[in-house]
């Protein structure tokens, strides 16, 4: 509504009537609703960040890829699967050139990269650093974000930060 319409509304509905109207609607717009609106990933877990239908957790601790994945699963999530450049941009804006594990590995079969969420690797977005993945020392099977957010493979026992991802909770007003 523009300013003129707003003025009209204020004339039609004196403040007292608006305030009583708000009061009546309280059950619909209670604190819990506002929390879901302001914190779609959960008001009680504000370390989770929302982006495009998913919630992301950026770890403060460094762990091996396997331990990192366990930590994500304990949070009802999994290591992040990067499905688009938009998602990549979001992740790199937070990773800030630090190493963060993502849910991409070729542990099962050398050179056959697999996303933990089942996304088909061969037909999907990739963002490897130039010259990577290089399986250095024949022992690099887990992928992480690095300089400028580009991906590198490193040994899975290396300890670095990690990013978990989970779909937005169903109860949120943003989900359909």
- Distance in Å, CB of 111 to Ca ion, minimum: 7
105 is an interface residue for Ca ion by CB under 5 A = no
95, 140, 164, 165: residue in contact with Ca ion (rule CB under 5 A) = 140
Would you say 45 or 134 has its CB closer to Ca ion? Answer: 134
Residue environment code for 51-82, b if the CB has 16+ CB neighbours within 10 A, otherwise e: beebbbbbbeebbbbebbbebbeeeebbbbbb
What the block records as the tokens of 154 is: 């490193």
* CA separation for the pair 44, 69 (Å, rounded): 22
**Restricting to residues 150-169, which ones interact with Ca ion according to CB under 5 A?**
152-153
| 106 contributes a contact to Ca ion by CB under 5 A | yes
| Per CB under 5 A, 30 contacts Ca ion | no
Q: Is 49 in the site for Ca ion (CB under 5 A)?
A: no
């Amino acid at each position: 509504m523009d300013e003129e319409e707003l003025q009209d509304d204020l004339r039609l509905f004196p403040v007292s009537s608006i305030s009583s109207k708000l009061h009546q609607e309280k059950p619909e717009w209670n604190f819990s609703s506002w929390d879901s609106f302001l914190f779609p990933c959960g008001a009680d877990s504000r370390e989770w960040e929302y982006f495009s239908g998913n919630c992301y957790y950026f770890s403060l601790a460094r762990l091996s890829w396997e331990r990192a994945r366990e930590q994500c699963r304990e949070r009802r999530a999994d290591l992040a699967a990067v499905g688009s450049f938009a998602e990549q941009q979001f992740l790199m804006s937070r990773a800030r050139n630090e190493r963060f594990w993502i849910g991409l590995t070729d542990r099962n079969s050398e050179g056959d990269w697999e996303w933990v969420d089942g996304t088909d690797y061969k037909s999907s977005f990739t963002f490897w650093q130039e010259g990577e993945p290089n399986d250095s020392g024949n022992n690099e099977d887990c992928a992480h974000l690095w300089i400028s957010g580009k991906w590198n493979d490193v040994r899975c026992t290396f300890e670095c930060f990690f990013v978990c991802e989970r779909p937005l909770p169903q109860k949120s007003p943003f989900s359909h």
